[in-house]
Every structure is written in C-alpha cells, then in structure tokens.
C-alpha cells in the first residue's frame, strides 16, 4: 500500500482490482448470511 | 480483557501509523489530482518549423523495422491526401493550405498522461511507463479493438489482414531506444528541430517561452498541456489547431475520469441489489403466506359458521323429533284410552243385555 | 417416459422457410471458412476509423438487449411472486440462454484472436475497462442461464435427483441473474461513455448506462410477447393447457409493464437532454432522427401498448411488441453505428459488407433451429407429466 500512484489510470487499476475481489466476496457471503438469518424460521414449502 | 495498557497503545499506534500511510498514498480518487510521473518525458512539436520533408516518417520506419511503403518517403505527392496512421505506419505528416502558405503537421500517438487506450483495454495491454511512453503488449491482446474506439485522436491501427496474429499498431515513443539513452528516431532525424525530446515539464516551459517571445508567430496555446487530461506530445503552432486537423473540442477530462462514474456504480449494485431483491422476495413470500393464512382463517370461519348452522339444524330437528314422538305417544295413549273406553262400553252393554232378559222372566 | 416428444414431426421439412434457413446456414459455413482463412479484411468492411461494425452493433448489443426476457420474466415470477407468469419463464430462459451463447459465438468472429477470449478473466484483468466488466458479467450470466436451463433438459433425460438439486437454487440464481443483468446491460451502454468526442451529443450522456438498463427491461418484455406470438402460431401443438391458459395474461401483464417502463424511459431521456442542454441539436438532421427513435419507436408504442391493455386487445399488443423490438434495435444501431463517428466525412463512414450481414443472419438462423429443436423435444412449452405442477 505504499506505492505512489502517478496517474488516475494506475490508481484505478489498483482500486478497481480490489473492488472486484470484494464484489466476489459479497456475492458469496450474502447468501450465506441469509441462510444464517433465516435458519430458525418455520419451515415452509418453496419451489 | 487481558491486554496490558502498553500493548494496547502499541497496537493502536501501529494501526494508526499504517492507516495514515495508507491514507496518504492511496488517496480516494474522488478529489485527488494526479500529476503524472515526475520523470515523464515528452516531445515538443513546433509546427511552424515543420517543412514536410517526411524524414521523420522514414526514420520511424527504419528504427522500428517496419515494411517499406509503396511510395518512397521522399515522394512528397502523398501530402496531397490527408492520411492517418495505419497498420505498420506509426506516424504521418499531413499538409494544410493556409492562404499562400503550406503548413505541415506530424501526427502520431500522443502518449497521453491518462491514456484512453489503457483505460479501455480489458487485458491491460497498454501501460504508461515512467518515462512517458505508452507501450502495447501484443502477447495478451485479444483483438477486441476497444482501444481504437476509445482513442480520441484515432491513432491505434489494426492488422485486419492478418489471420493468426493481428495486432494493434502505434508509435512507441521509441521506448527501447530511449531506455538505451538514444533519441526517438523521428526526433533525431528532423532537420529543422521541429521535434525536441525532453522532460515534459521542461518542454512546457520552453514552449511557453517561445510563445511569449514571438506572440505574433504563435497561437497562445500549448496543445496537449491539458487536452484529455494532458499528453506527452505537445504542439505549438502559428495556425489555429482546428485548421490543421487537430480537434479543439476534446475537453480536458481524461478517459479514466469519463468512465469513473459508471465503474463506481458497479460495486454498489453488487452490494445493494441482493439486499433489495431478497427484500422484495421476502415481502412477496410473506404476503403470500399472510394471504394463505387469511384464506385458511376465512375457510375455518366459514366452516365454523356452517358447523354452528348444522348444530342448530340438528337441535331443531331433534326437538321436532321429540315433539313428534310425544305427539305420537299421546295419540296412541288417547287411542288406547278410547278403545278401552269403547271396550268398557261394549262390555257394559253386553252385561246390560244379559241382565235385561233375566228381569223379564222374574215377572 | 413420454412417447410423444421423440417423434420427429411428420410434416414435410422442406417448407420455404426451412429452405431459406438451410441456405443461410450453408452460406454461413462458407463465410466462416473465409473469415478464419482470410482474416477480417476479407470478410468485413471494418477499418481503422470504424473498428466496430454490425457484429458488435447487432450481434452483441442487440443480442444482449433482446435476451433480457430471461431476467425480467424470472424476476417477475420468482422474486415478485407473480406466479401467473410461470409458464413464460422456461421459454424466456431458453431464449436468453441461446441468445447469450450466440453472442459469445459471434464474438469469436469479431475479435482478432478469439482463442484469447479467456485472457481478460483468467490471465490479466484490465479492471479499469468497462469491457472487462461486460465480459466478466456475460461469462457469469451465461453460466447462470445454463444452470437455470438444465431442469428442463433433466426432465427430458430423466435425471430427477439432479433436477431437484438445481430447482432448490432457483431464487438464488434468479437474484444473481438480475444483479448480473443489471451490470452488463448497463455497462454495454457505459462502453460509450469513454468517447464523448465521437458519439453525437443527442445520444451521448452520462446516463447511457441507465438508458441501456431500463431499455433492456422493455426489450425483454416485448421479446417475450413477440416470441410468444410466434410460438403460438408455429409451435401451438407443443403447448399444454397451463401454457395456453396463462398466455393471454402474460401478453396483457407484460404489455402493461412495458408501457409504463417505456414512459419512464422517455422521461429520463428528456431529463438527459435538459441536463446537457442539448435542445438545439433537436433542430438538426440528427435531431430529427433522434426524435424518430424516441417518439416513433418508444413513446408511440408505449401509448399503443396502453391502448391494447385497456381494451384487452391481444393482437394490438403483440404487434406493438414487434414495433418496440425494432425500436431497441434502432437505438443500439444509432449508438454504435449511426450516431457514432457522426463527424467523419461520408466517405469515411462504415456500412456492413454483405458477408458481415451473412454471418449475422447465420447466427440468428442457428438460434432459430436450436430453439425449435429444444422446444419440440424438451418440456419448455408444456409441463413434463412426471413433474407436473409442483408449484
């Protein structure tokens, strides 16, 4: 994290890269969190 | 918590120091102004000095080992046509008529400070080097040609003729030569010093000085200082730029800035859409559930009413049945009594009849 | 196991339409050979000023917009809980899956080195590029669509356990599908935000991503109505009672939704003009063309949809659906080919070669043939009797 960014292009390459990884994590963690949240709901039929 | 105060303060201090470093070096791009690498080199093209000899084109062709064109470089009749860069033609000189004068301009990749091609490329095939050159990596290029769409100067060209190894072609600012301490081929070949290679910031100062020294000979504008966020190739001219094929309506916003908005919206969609959509789903499921429950309740209520009704009917019927029974019994009893009465009467009559003839005999 | 699905139709195969399809397919094969032995210059009219032609403008941009029925229909049915659209889901998912698969197929013709198409995702990621975003999302969404399509195939093949496992994922896949669709539909529009200098000011806007996303919604809804009308005519014998019963509701409901969304779209387009103060451009030649697109192919069909819905006129809605689809195609063509490079002199403008057109038709023909095969043999337009109505 101590590289200096000389151009917006360099900065965005770095920041967007991290952002995409975070997006991937969100898409995995959110469904898991949903399952955790609804674990103890009454069971009902779904599709 | 079993941490000593010293340890905690130590942690805290370490964390803040890291955060501070991170904050200073990776500042949010929202308001930060990037100035480019301090050692960025550039080329100053003084259009007034260009005579259209095409020696720069020839040098470029030689140092890059490009295929020789149909018409040789000393054939100046090509200047009658407006040309653009092409596959394996990294630079061209164009000629414009200005009254009685002929004006010549060299055109090639401007090596932008915030290159649109680098911003657009989805395999990172373009890179702005610290020395200012924007270089192209053929080994990863897929050939999508979005860089050609993105470049506001219409510089990148494509090898449409090649079947297996088509590539994008453009000026490299002689990156390999420059790294060896040589000048770019075109700069070296120019007989009129219409091209100077040097540190970009210095070149801007030189250009400023030249304009200020001869204000009647130059338009008061350094083309490339701010256009599209600034370019490494700078131009000064006595003729208005729009009259020599250089667009003056490009603005100062760079390509990364232009796409920053849409790009920033992407992760927000990923963060929020699942929540909103799951919310809609949950609400609609709940609505369905409540509707089902209400329906079940309504059915139950209706059933209860029906049952009540039925019960009442049964009670009524029972009552009627009891009444009927009682009435029937009464009837039977009355009948029996009547019959008994009749019997008795008959018997009485019979007895009376028997007694009557006996009485007659007694006289 | 069903008997009726495995017989090939006894109707004669050599209808004029099929003959035409056959010719297109044959020519397409020849063009494919030419493309991959001669290179792009032999088959296309692309040049350095016009690097993107109809393979991007039609096959990619229109293809993706018109395949949007997949996410809209499944969202309506599973997320919004509108179960009366259930019979429309499978045909819509099939169209979307085939649509996206063919888009990827078409890209193999357009890019210079198609064998390197996995590079941006798996080798070196150009994360600042909106095209990277498009590529990643299309790749993921194609996977989602494929998975959503498999239950129909599994019913045909008899893999009931596998089918059940997949069906449990329905809501997750649907939500993921809407997220991905939002992203790539809008990013296709965002591709052009990088070139304000090349796209005519009436079409260039910071709102391009929003315009593309919103228009994809009514593109999808209209395609479902339009394809439904074609299926009713030519695949009627494949439809079961549920499908037939629900179809009118689908036309009315989707027509209503499309009408309203189109009205909203016109509103945000007008806002875009105001925000950029582009009114004066409306009085130019391009302005007339812009108004033709917005009024003639969005505002008017929106209104006619409304009339159709109010009067429950199914035919009118179906015709308007085709009209709206043409409007979407016009919009995508305008942005990628007509209003793009508008400042170049006419001699430097692009027009597709007949071979480019031939390849595009070839790809559409493949889509039609595969669609017909799948709907004829798999439970798309009807419910498989072994798995009937578990909903």
Query: CB of A46 within 8 Å of any CB in chain C?
Result: yes
pLDDT string in tens for chain C (391-residue length): 444 555 555 456 789 999 999 999 999 999 999 999 999 999 999 999 999 999 999 999 999 999 999 999 999 999 999 999 999 999 999 999 999 999 999 999 999 999 999 999 999 999 999 999 999 999 999 999 999 999 999 999 989 899 999 999 999 999 999 999 999 999 999 999 999 999 999 999 999 999 999 999 999 999 999 999 999 998 898 898 889 999 999 999 999 999 999 999 999 999 999 999 999 999 999 999 999 999 999 999 999 999 999 999 999 999 999 999 999 999 999 999 999 999 999 999 999 999 999 999 999 999 999 999 999 999 999 988 888 655 4
CA distance C249 to C85: 8
| B131: number of Cβ within 10 Å | 18
Residue C57 domain-assigned?
yes
Residue C305 domain-assigned?
yes
* Domain extent for C125: 53-345+354-380
| C47: number of Cβ within 10 Å | 17
Residue C163 domain-assigned?
yes
Residue C103 domain-assigned?
yes
3-state DSSP helix/strand/coil % of chain C, to nearest 5: 75, 0, 25
Domain count for chain C: 1
Contact C174, B253 (CB under 8 A): no
Nearest neighbour of C39 by CB, restricted to B163, B251, B288: B163
Q: Which residues contact B220 (CB under 8 A, 6 or more apart)?
A: B211
Helix (H, G, I), strand (E, B) or coil at C3: coil
CA distance, residue C78 to nearest chain B CA (Å): 7
Neighbors of chain B by Cβ distance (3+ pairs < 8 Å):
A, C
Strand pairing class (B168-169; B195-199): unpaired
What sign has the CA pseudo-torsion C337, C339, C344, C349? Answer: positive
Nearest-5° Cα angle at B196, B190 to B198: 145
Helix (H, G, I), strand (E, B) or coil at B136: strand
CA distance C276 to C269: 11
CA separation (Å) from C328 to B303, C66, C95, C142?
A: 55, 8, 17, 22
Residue C20 domain-assigned?
no
Residue C153 domain-assigned?
yes
Residue C366 domain-assigned?
yes
What per-residue confidence (pLDDT) applies to B6? 54
- The rounded radius of gyration (Å) of the Cα atoms in chain B is 53
User: HSE (CB half, 13 Å, CA atoms) of B273?
Assistant: 22
Q: Provide the token pair at B3.
A: 């941490």
Q: Provide the token pair at C373.
A: 């095969």
Exposure string for B169-205, b = 16+ CB within 10 A, e = fewer: bbbbbbbebbeeeebbbbbbbbeeebbbbebbeebbe
- DSSP run (H or E) holding C356: helix C354-377
Which residues on chain A are in Cβ contact (under 8 Å) with B256?
7-9, 12
Residue C295 domain-assigned?
yes
Which residues on chain C are in Cβ contact (under 8 Å) with A31?
172
Residues forming a β-bridge with B236: B46
CA distance B270 to B266: 7
Q: Provide the token pair at C279.
A: 């009114």
Low-confidence ranges of chain B (pLDDT < 50): 1-2, 10-11, 13-14, 17-29, 363
| DSSP state, residue C77 | I
Contact A13, B123 (CB under 8 A): no
Closest residue by Cα to residue B251 from B217, B226, B233, B274: B226
What per-residue confidence (pLDDT) applies to C317? 97
Query: CB of A20 within 8 Å of any CB in chain C?
Result: yes
Contact C25, C366 (CB under 8 A): yes
Helix (H, G, I), strand (E, B) or coil at B346: helix
Q: Which residues contact B189 (CB under 8 A, 6 or more apart)?
A: B55, B56, B58, B59
Query: Do the interacting molecules here have an ipTM over 0.90?
Result: yes
Exposure string for A8-39, b = 16+ CB within 10 A, e = fewer: bbbbbbbbbeebbeebeebbeebbeebeeeee
pLDDT (tens digit per residue) in A1-47: 557 899 999 999 999 999 999 999 999 999 999 999 888 887 665 55
CA distance, residue B173 to nearest chain A CA (Å): 19
Which residues on chain C are in Cβ contact (under 8 Å) with B250?
197
A4 to B25: CB separation less than 8 angstroms, yes or no: yes
Strand pairing class (B134-136; B126-128): antiparallel
Nearest neighbour of B150 by CB, restricted to C112, C187, C195: C195
CA distance, residue C235 to nearest chain B CA (Å): 33
- Based on the number of CB atoms within 10 Å of its own CB, is B71 exposed (0-12), middle (13-18) or buried (19 or more)? exposed
A16 to C128: CB separation less than 8 angstroms, yes or no: yes
Q: Output the CA torsion B252→B253→B254→B256 (10° steps).
A: 170
CA distance C36 to C355: 13
Number of Cβ pairs < 8 A linking chain A and chain C: 25
Which residues on chain C are in Cβ contact (under 8 Å) with B81?
none
Residues forming a β-bridge with B106: B93
B26 to A10: CB separation less than 8 angstroms, yes or no: no
Nearest-5° Cα angle at C218, C377 to C152: 20
What per-residue confidence (pLDDT) applies to C389? 57
CA distance B171 to B89: 9
What per-residue confidence (pLDDT) applies to C2? 46
Q: Provide the token pair at C82.
A: 């509108």
Query: CB of A30 within 8 Å of any CB in chain C?
Result: no
CA distance B272 to A13: 23
Contact C350, C42 (CB under 8 A): no
Q: Provide the token pair at C105.
A: 């197929």
Closest residue by Cα to residue B86 from B113, B57, B62, B116: B57
């Amino acid at each position: 994290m101590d590289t200096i960014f000389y151009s917006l292009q360099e900065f965005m390459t770095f920041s967007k890269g991290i952002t995409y990884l975070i997006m991937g994590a969100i898409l995995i963690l959110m469904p898991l969190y949903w399952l955790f949240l609804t674990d103890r709901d009454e069971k009902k039929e779904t599709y | 918590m079993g941490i000593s105060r010293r340890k905690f303060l130590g942690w805290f201090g370490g964390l803040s120091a890291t955060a501070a470093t991170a904050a200073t070096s990776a500042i949010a791009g929202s308001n930060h102004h990037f100035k480019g690498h301090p050692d960025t080199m550039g080329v100053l093209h003084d259009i007034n000095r260009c005579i259209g000899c095409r020696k720069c084109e020839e040098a470029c062709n030689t140092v890059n080992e490009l295929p020789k064109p149909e018409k040789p470089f000393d054939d100046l009749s090509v200047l009658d046509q407006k040309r653009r860069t092409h596959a394996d033609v990294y630079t061209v000189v164009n000629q414009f008529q200005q009254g009685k004068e002929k004006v010549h301009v060299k055109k090639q990749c401007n090596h932008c400070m915030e290159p649109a091609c680098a911003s657009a490329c989805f395999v990172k095939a373009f890179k702005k080097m610290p020395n200012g050159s924007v270089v192209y990596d053929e080994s990863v290029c897929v050939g999508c040609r979005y860089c050609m769409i993105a470049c506001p100067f219409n510089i990148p060209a494509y090898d449409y003729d090649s079947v297996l190894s088509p590539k994008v072609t453009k000026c490299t600012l002689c990156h390999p030569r420059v790294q060896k301490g040589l000048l770019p081929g075109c700069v070296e070949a120019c007989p009129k010093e219409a091209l100077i290679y040097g540190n970009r910031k210095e070149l801007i100062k030189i250009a400023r000085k030249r304009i200020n020294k001869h204000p009647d000979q130059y338009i008061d504008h350094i083309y490339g200082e701010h256009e599209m966020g600034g370019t490494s190739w700078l131009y000064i001219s006595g003729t208005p730029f729009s009259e020599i094929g250089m667009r003056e309506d490009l603005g100062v916003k760079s390509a990364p800035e232009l796409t920053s908005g849409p790009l920033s919206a992407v992760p927000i969609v990923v963060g929020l859409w699942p929540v909103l959509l799951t919310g809609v789903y949950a609400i609609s499921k709940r609505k369905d559930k409540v509707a089902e429950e209400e329906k079940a309740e309504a059915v139950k209520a209706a059933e209860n009413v029906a049952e009540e009704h039925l019960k009442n009917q049964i009670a009524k019927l029972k009552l009627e049945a009891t009444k009927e029974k009682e009435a029937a019994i009464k009837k039977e009893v009355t009948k029996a009594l009547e019959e008994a009465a009749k019997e008795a009467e008959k018997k009485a009559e019979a007895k009376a009849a028997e007694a009557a003839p006996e009485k007659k005999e007694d006289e | 196991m069903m008997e009726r699905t495995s017989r090939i139709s006894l109707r004669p195969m050599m209808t004029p339409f099929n003959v035409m399809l056959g010719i297109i397919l044959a020519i397409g094969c020849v063009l494919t050979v030419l493309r991959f032995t001669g290179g792009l210059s032999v088959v296309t009219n692309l040049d350095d000023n016009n690097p993107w032609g109809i393979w991007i403008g039609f096959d990619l941009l229109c293809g993706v917009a018109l395949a949007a029925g997949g996410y809209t229909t499944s969202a309506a049915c599973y997320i919004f809980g509108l179960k009366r659209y259930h019979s429309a889901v499978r045909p819509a998912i099939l169209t979307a899956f085939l649509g996206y698969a063919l888009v990827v197929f078409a890209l193999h013709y357009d890019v210079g080195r198609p064998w390197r198409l996995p590079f941006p995702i798996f080798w070196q990621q150009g994360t600042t590029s909106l095209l990277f975003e498009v590529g990643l999302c299309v790749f993921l969404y194609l996977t989602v669509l494929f998975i959503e399509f498999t239950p129909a195939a599994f019913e045909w093949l008899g893999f009931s356990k596998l089918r059940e496992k997949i069906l449990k994922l329905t809501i997750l896949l649907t939500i993921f599908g809407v997220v991905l669709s939002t992203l790539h539909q809008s990013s296709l529009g965002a591709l052009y935000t990088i070139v304000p200098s090349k796209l005519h000011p009436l079409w260039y806007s910071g709102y391009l991503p929003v315009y593309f996303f919103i228009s994809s919604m009514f593109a999808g809804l209209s395609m479902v109505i339009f394809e439904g009308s074609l299926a009713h005519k030519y695949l009627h014998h494949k439809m079961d009672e549920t499908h037939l019963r629900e179809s009118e509701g689908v036309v009315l409901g989707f027509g209503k939704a499309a009408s309203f969304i189109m009205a909203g779209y016109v509103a945000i387009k007008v806002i875009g003009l105001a925000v950029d103060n582009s009114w004066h451009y409306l009085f130019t030649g391009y302005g007339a063309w812009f108004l033709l697109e917005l009024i003639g192919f969005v505002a008017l069909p929106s209104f006619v949809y409304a009339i159709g819905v109010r009067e429950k006129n199914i035919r009118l809605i179906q015709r308007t659906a085709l009209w709206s689809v043409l409007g979407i195609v016009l919009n995508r063509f305008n942005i990628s080919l007509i209003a793009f490079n508008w400042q170049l002199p006419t001699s430097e403008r692009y027009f597709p070669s007949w071979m480019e057109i031939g390849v595009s038709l070839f790809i559409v023909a493949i889509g039609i043939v595969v669609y017909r095969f799948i709907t004829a043999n798999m439970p798309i337009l009807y419910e498989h009797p072994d798995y009937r109505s578990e909903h």
